[in-house]
Structure 1
Amino acid sequence: MQIDIPLSRRGLFIGTAQAFAAIALAGPGAAAEVLPKMTVTRDPNCGCCGNWVKHIKAAGFPIDVVEIDDVMPFKAKLGVPEALMSCHTAEIGGYVIEGHVPAEAVKRLLVERPKAIGIAFPGMPIGSPGMEVPGQAPQSYEIAIFSAGKQHVFARYRGLQQV
């Protein structure tokens, strides 16, 4: 059975308004998530960096990878504190992401948009993205949020799970 509905400007306007309202009320998960491009700078000889990039890509982030032999001056130029430096550095949405930070923490940073340079953790705990070891229980770790001269805990994780 086909129903013919005459199309008028008013009907089109009301229908469009209803569609936008439905999308807005459904929340951010209703539409396809559009994530900004991430640029990852890494040492070409580091295998765990490649595994972290795979984790980030699987979470939906478009990525460019830049490989340089000496990443330390680059990190310092971006404002990463020496105590938080790790094996790879990413830039996204005006922030720096240092180390094996889970994709969900990056997404949270991009949603909350705090005043900071970025988030980081310098270690390579088992179970963090890119450091998964079959048969090994994931370790706990803290992600720091940092700005010039200060830092504090942004999130705590055990493997890929926030705790």
Structure 2
Amino acid sequence: MYNKKYQLLNVLATIFVAFVVLLAILNFFSEPNRKSIFGYRGYTVISGSMVPALQIGDYVILKEEPFQQLKEEDIITFKNDRIIVTHRVVHLTSKNQLITRGDANAVDDLLEVTDQEYIGKVQWRIPFLGYFMILMQNPLFFSVSLALIAIRFVFLWIIKI
């Protein structure tokens, strides 16, 4: 019985470590002015402008699809001044620009999106993961997570002795 509990705890700890490391890497490369990781970026949804498709606290993973391949109904992320926005493409203009709108909004966005503002197309939505990402910005929670990871590695090292 003890061995099965140990094995389960071992698997869960490994999954937690891999999960935190993967998210840390993805977030590091999600800065719009930084190169992405294999064409992917991740962002937390912090507004309700895309309800019901995206909820506050969702985490979206984007792929850098070519701007010319975007079409109406695609959900994209783009820079609007210093703000990162995720909205749906509602129209393509003749000037190779995109008109976007949040699903919960009654009017289109004022600025048209060009290939310079475009960041990527939403590929996946992970419900509630954004709350974890916001929590990771808390120094206490981040420190506890790092401590758990360190304990995991020490525990693995002790087992091998």
- Give the alignment's TM-score, normalised by structure 2: 0.21
Mark the structure with the bigger radius of gyration: 1
- Give the alignment's TM-score, normalised by structure 1: 0.20
Select the structure with the greater relative contact order (CA < 8 A; seq sep ≥ 6): 2
